[in-house]
Each structure stands twice: as structure tokens, then as C-alpha cells.
């Protein structure tokens, strides 16, 4: 048949092989898309190749399918680089672990068989096989694969460690706290894989555009092949050839790959540097941030407050104040409670038990200690409970708060225990035991981070805190913040975030991922900081900074901005190439083979441009 058609058998066989090798896979994908009601680029390429063959340009049709399949292979290889960057994290966990059994014997077991409670031995230079807590030994551990920290972290008994991190010079015995499939490393990998599967808003928009655009291209090609022939009497073969060329050069391959190439690479790069994006939408949203809202404690401050002042009143001693406060604070989960309890322990104060403990979020706590009602909290909270405070209490509180310290007033009184038989005290005949002041130091990198954020173009920096206004004012002034809101309850923080979103649009909320969950959810992007190993943060936040380094926040914004620039560059380049090739094809200046080279070449270049984001941050902080 080939010889009858005037085609040498050898050349005809080569054409058939080229059409089969390049056309069958594309045709299968095109038919699958058509069944879903989608016209995609594969259909455009198959139609162009078949059309070229019909009018005698079999060689160019074969070149088209060959280069299209080659370009597809290169694109797949390029996109696989982003998946490999994440899959490489899986190799960090060792296959085996040295297990110490309860009878003291040791055995090498598969790391995936470890269970909570197992005791493993980690020698110097080895990778930790599971998440756990150091039982014995001291060392320094390289946590870069999890947190992105460049400096090893000292570890000792009671310190938490992560699977895949590298032990330093000391021998460690580690008590396993999570099975392998639930380790922080495994959860990070799962979350990043889920994030890469989600489309960014720009990609969703382009996909919707692409479905309509493909139909427009087919319509334009049909018009190119028929209208000049019917209206102007042009040569059909010539116009049909131009129409097939138009099908190729107008195909939006490069446009379609521009966003996923950059976004997936950015997500992979972030994960390697301790910044976990939960989806491409948050990569784009971080780049558009106009306002950043910080929670104070644990975000701008180190989150480890300490007692700085104990001021006794009404003849009480400092020990009496600490004793009463620590008794009720020992039942509290508030971050200031630990500071009071630690101060009591440091002064060897015997702390009695508390009964009837109650907490009012952001205001204070109450309880019954040795038959007396004890109230610890703000001045307003004590007044609500019927306590009369001397004027010097208010003056002392003001002075301490102006120094940036958080204050709590401690008072005892009210009814005595009925079982004691002692007389009852009038509800308002209360004793003001004293005032306790607590201070939390600013993070050493906080000022530099604020300066970097301003340099990146963030318009407004806001702080939210449940602390007193004078304390908040002192910290906001020190950091040169634009705005602060004090004495905020969790629901108040949500209100402020919603108001900022209404005024500015792009709002990023930075907190600890646990206490600030409502405000994080209200923001356009919720960022949890210092959350390696924190289940709640990994599940609730949109972006997780895996280390307690506030400097990672501007780094994450630079990464997002870099991804956005790359997307804009790639889309602009792809659109320009398509415009030039379409105009040239309609004018008859571009042959089909040259159009194929230009189209597929631009697609590969766009994919490679997106992959540049994989190198973002290498050699930087």
C-alpha cells in the first residue's frame, strides 16, 4: 500500500512507527479527557499530526509527535524532581535500630517495628530511628532535615528528638514515643505530598481558561482552513497546512505548566528548609501578605516567662505570696503558671494542694487553699470576686507594667473551710497578699525579622496579646510595630483579624498553633511557629515553621514572592512565544516543524524555570 501511494517502504515504516510511538499515548490521554468533556492539548497535537499526514506532510507530523512525546518526557522528569526532593526525606530514617530489651539484651530490629515505650541506643554519627525522648546521655543533634536549623541542638535527658536527625558526639538512649508511620518526618512527608496534590488558585484559573481556550484554538484552526478558501479562493492545501500549524503553536502547554512547576518546587524547597506549606494556595497568599499579625507570647517573645518581682502587701512575706499563688497555679495550663510554680520551687517553698480550682480565660484563677479562698489575676478580676484593693496596689501594678512586665495580684480571704470549725471571714474583709511580676524576653531575632518584613513591603505589623495594655505598649514600642491590641480574649483576636482582612485583604496570623487556633483559622494564612512535633499545629495551621526562629517568616515570604515572580515570568514568556508563533503561522512564515520546535522548546524552558525554586535558600539562612 505504501509503495502504491508512492512512499518508500522504509520511510513509510519509520513514519508509522513515529506516529504509533508518539500518537497512541497522546490519543489515549485525549480520549480520556474527551470522555470527561474536556478538550486538552493532546487532542490538538493528534489532530495536527493527522492533518499533516492527510495533506502529505507526513515527515512533519512525525516530527511533531516525536518532539511532543519527548517534551512530555522532559516535563515529567522535571516535575519528578520536585517529588524526588520530598521522597529523599524518606531515606533519612535508618532501616534498622539497636533495641535494648527489658532484660538488658540488645538486638538490631527494623526501625518500622519500633513501638512507643521501646528503648533504642543511638551511637555517635547515627541517625535516630524514631521520634522519642532522651532517657540517658547527652549529645548534640543535627535537626536540619526537620527544622532547617543549621546549628546542632544540645540534647539531654528529657529532650525530645526526631526520626531522621543525626546524633552528634555522644551516645544516647532514647525512649520511643511514636511508631515510624506517625513520626514527625513521616507526617511532614504526607502533608507535603497532599499539598503538592492541591492546585494553587492561579493554576485552577488557568485550567478553566485552558478548557475554553482549546475549543477556541480548534475553532480558529477550522476557520483558517475554510474561510480563506471559501471567501478568497485560497489554496485549500496551503490553508489547511497553516491551520495544522496553528493547532500546534497555539497550544497552551507552556502556560499550563508554568504555575505547578514553580509552586511544587517552592513547596519542596520550603520543606527542606523547615517551612511546611499545606498547599499551593498558601504559597501564593504569603506572597500577597499586606498585614502580619503576631501573637505576643511564644512568637515575639521566647515563651519562657520568669518571675522578676514578688511584692508582699498587708504584712505578708514574699514566701506567703509565692506559696498561695503557686498552690492554685499548679493546676493551671496558662504559660505564666509555670513561671510561678518554678519560682516557688527555686525558693524551696512548700506548695499545698488546692481544691475547687477554676480558671477564667485571660483574667485569672481561683481555688481553695487550706480552707481559704485564693484568687490570682488582674485587678478587675479580684474586684469582681469582692476583694478590696488598696490604692498602692494599683500604683505598683502600673509601675511594673510600664516596664513591660506582666502582673498578677494575689489575694486570700472569704469563707474558711466549714470542716475546720473556724469562724467565717466577711467576703470583703480580704487580704491582699501581694503582687507577682513576670517577664518574657523578646526573641533575639525579633527586631531583625521585623526589619526584614518591612523591607519586603509588608504594610502593617500588628501584635495581639491577652496582656495588659502597658505591657503590650512597651513591647510594641521596642519592636516598632504599627499597632497592638491588649487584654484580648481568643474571640477578640478573631474579631481583630477579621477587621484587618476587611480593611487590607491579605492578612497572615502568626501564633503557636495551639492557643491561637481560632485566629489562625480566621486569617488568610495561619502560620504556626516552633511546631516540630506538635500534632495540633501540623493539622490546623496553613504554614508551619518547624523551628523557633522568627527569621523563617521573612524567609518564607521571600520564597513565596520568588515563586510568584517565577510564575509571572513563565506566563509572560509562554504567552509571548505563543503570540509570535500564532502571528507567524497565520502569515505563513512558520513551517509546522519549526512551530513544533518553538512550542515544545518554550514548554521545556518554562518547566526548567520553575525548577529554579528548588535551589531557593541554598547557602542562605
Tell me how far apart the alpha carbons of residues 422 and 559 are, in angstroms, rounded to a whole number: 68
C-alpha cell at 537: 499545629
Q: Could you give the angle at which helices 335-346 and 318-329 cross, rounded to 10 degrees? A: 140
**Cβ contacts of 20 within 8 Å, gap of 6 or more:** none
Tell me how far apart the alpha carbons of residues 481 and 468 are, in angstroms, rounded to a whole number: 17
At residue 489, what are phi and psi to the nearest 5 degrees?
-85, 165
C-alpha cell at 473: 505598649
Write out the DSSP string of 32-89. Answer: HHHHTT---HHHHHHHHHHHHHHTT-HHHHHHHHHHHHHHHHHHHHHHHHHHHHHHHH
Give the residue carrying C-alpha cell 512565544: 577
**295 has catalytic annotation:** yes
Q: Give the rounded distance of the alpha carbon of 242 from its chain centre.
A: 48
Confirm if 398 and 413 have CB atoms less than 8 A apart: no
Q: Which helix (H) or strand (E) holds 407?
A: strand 406-413
**Cβ contacts of 596 within 8 Å, gap of 6 or more:** 60, 63, 64, 67, 68, 248
Tell me how far apart the alpha carbons of residues 57 and 241 are, in angstroms, rounded to a whole number: 9
Classify residue 251 as left (phi > 0), alpha (psi -120 to 50) or beta. beta
Cα–Cα–Cα angle for 301, 310, 442, rounded to 5 degrees: 10
Give the residue carrying C-alpha cell 471559501: 230
Confirm if 52 and 58 have CB atoms less than 8 A apart: yes
Classify residue 413 as left (phi > 0), alpha (psi -120 to 50) or beta. left
**Please, how many CA atoms are within 13 Å of residue 58, restricted to the half-sphere of its CB?**
16
Kindly name the residue from 40, 118, 131, 295 that is annotated as catalytic.
Answer: 295
Listed in order, strand segments (DSSP E) in 206-290 are 275-277
C-alpha cell at 461: 505589623
Q: Give the rounded distance of the alpha carbon of 123 from its chain centre.
A: 33
At residue 329, what are phi and psi to the nearest 5 degrees?
-70, -25
**Cβ contacts of 315 within 8 Å, gap of 6 or more:** none
Tell me how far apart the alpha carbons of residues 328 and 376 are, in angstroms, rounded to a whole number: 8
Write out the DSSP string of 105-134. Answer: -EEEEEGGG--TT-EEEE-TTPBP-S-EEE
Catalytic residues: 295
Amino acid at each position: 500500500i505504501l509503495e502504491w501511494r508512492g512512499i518508500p517502504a522504509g520511510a513509510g515504516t519509520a513514519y508509522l512507527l513515529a506516529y504509533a510511538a508518539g500518537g497512541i499515548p497522546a490519543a489515549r490521554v485525549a480520549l480520556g479527557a474527551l470522555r470527561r468533556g474536556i478538550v486538552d492539548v493532546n487532542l490538538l497535537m493528534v489532530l495536527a499530526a493527522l492533518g499533516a499526514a492527510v495533506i502529505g506532510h507526513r515527515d512533519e507530523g512525525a516530527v511533531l509527535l516525536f518532539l511532543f512525546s519527548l517534551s512530555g518526557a522532559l516535563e515529567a522528569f522535571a516535575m519528578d524532581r520536585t517529588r524526588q526532593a520530598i521522597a529523599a526525606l524518606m531515606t533519612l530514617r535508618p532501616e534498622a535500630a539497636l533495641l535494648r530489651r527489658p532484660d538488658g539484651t540488645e538486638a538490631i530490629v527494623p526501625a518500622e517495628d519500633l513501638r512507643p515505650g521501646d528503648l533504642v541506643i543511638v551511637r555517635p554519627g547515627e541517625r535516630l530511628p524514631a521520634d522519642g525522648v532522651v532517657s540517658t546521655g547527652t549529645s548534640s543533634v543535627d535537626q536540619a532535615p526537620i527544622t532547617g536549623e543549621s546549628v546542632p541542638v544540645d540534647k539531654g535527658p528529657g529532650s525530645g528528638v526526631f526520626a531522621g536527625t543525626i546524633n552528634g558526639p555522644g551516645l544516647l538512649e532514647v525512649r520511643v514515643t511514636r511508631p515510624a508511620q506517625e513520626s514527625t518526618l513521616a507526617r511532614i512527608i504526607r502533608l507535603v505530598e497532599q499539598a503538592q496534590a492541591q492546585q494553587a488558585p492561579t493554576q485552577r484559573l488557568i485550567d478553566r481558561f485552558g478548557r475554553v481556550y482549546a475549543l477556541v484554538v480548534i475553532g480558529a484552526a477550522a476557520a483558517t482552513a475554510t474561510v480563506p478558501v471559501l471567501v478568497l479562493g485560497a489554496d485549500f492545501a496551503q490553508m489547511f497546512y497553516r491551520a495544522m500549524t496553528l493547532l500546534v503553536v497555539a497550544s497552551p502547554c507552556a502556560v499550563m505548566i508554568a504555575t505547578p512547576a514553580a509552586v511544587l518546587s517552592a513547596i519542596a524547597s520550603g520543606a527542606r528548609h523547615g517551612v511546611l506549606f499545606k498547599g499551593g494556595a498558601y504559597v501564593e497568599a504569603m506572597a500577597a501578605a499586606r498585614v502580619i499579625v503576631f501573637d505576643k507570647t511564644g512568637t515575639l517573645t521566647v515563651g519562657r516567662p520568669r518571675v522578676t518581682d514578688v511584692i508582699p502587701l498587708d504584712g505578708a512575706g514574699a514566701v506567703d505570696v509565692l506559696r498561695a499563688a503557686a498552690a492554685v497555679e499548679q493546676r493551671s495550663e496558662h504559660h505564666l503558671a509555670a513561671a510561678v510554680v518554678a519560682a516557688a520551687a527555686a525558693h524551696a517553698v512548700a506548695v499545698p494542694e488546692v481544691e475547687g480550682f477554676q480558671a477564667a480565660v485571660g483574667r485569672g484563677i481561683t481555688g481553695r487553699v487550706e480552707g481559704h479562698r485564693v484568687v490570682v489575676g488582674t485587678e478587675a478580676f479580684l474586684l469582681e470576686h469582692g476583694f478590696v484593693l488598696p490604692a498602692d496596689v494599683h500604683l505598683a501594678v502600673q509601675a511594673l507594667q510600664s516596664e513591660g512586665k506582666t502582673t498578677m495580684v494575689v489575694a486570700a480571704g472569704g469563707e474558711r473551710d466549714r470542716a475546720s470549725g473556724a469562724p467565717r471571714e466577711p467576703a470583703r474583709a480580704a487580704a491582699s497578699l501581694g503582687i507577682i511580676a513576670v517577664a518574657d524576653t523578646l526573641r533575639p531575632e525579633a527586631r531583625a525579622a521585623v526589619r526584614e518584613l518591612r523591607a519586603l513591603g509588608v504594610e502593617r505589623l500588628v501584635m495581639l496579646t491577652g496582656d495588659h495594655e502597658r505591657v503590650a505598649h512597651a513591647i510594641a514600642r521596642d519592636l516598632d510595630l504599627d499597632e497592638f491590641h491588649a487584654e484580648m480574649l481568643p474571640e477578640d483576636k478573631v474579631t481583630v483579624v477579621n477587621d484587618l482582612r476587611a480593611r487590607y485583604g491579605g492578612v497572615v496570623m502568626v501564633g503557636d498553633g495551639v492557643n491561637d487556633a481560632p485566629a489562625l483559622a480566621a486569617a488568610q494564612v495561619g502560620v504556626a511557629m516552633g511546631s516540630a512535633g506538635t500534632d495540633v499545629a501540623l493539622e490546623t495551621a496553613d504554614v508551619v515553621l518547624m523551628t523557633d526562629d522568627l527569621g523563617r517568616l521573612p524567609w518564607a515570604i521571600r520564597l513565596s514572592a520568588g515563586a510568584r515572580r517565577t510564575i509571572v515570568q513563565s506566563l509572560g514568556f509562554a504567552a509571548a512565544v505563543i503570540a509570535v508563533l500564532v502571528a507567524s503561522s497565520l502569515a505563513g512564515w512558520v513551517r509546522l516543524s519549526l512551530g513544533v520546535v518553538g512550542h515544545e522548546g518554550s514548554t521545556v524552558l518554562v518547566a526548567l524555570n520553575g525548577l529554579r525554586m528548588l535551589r531557593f535558600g541554598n547557602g542562605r539562612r
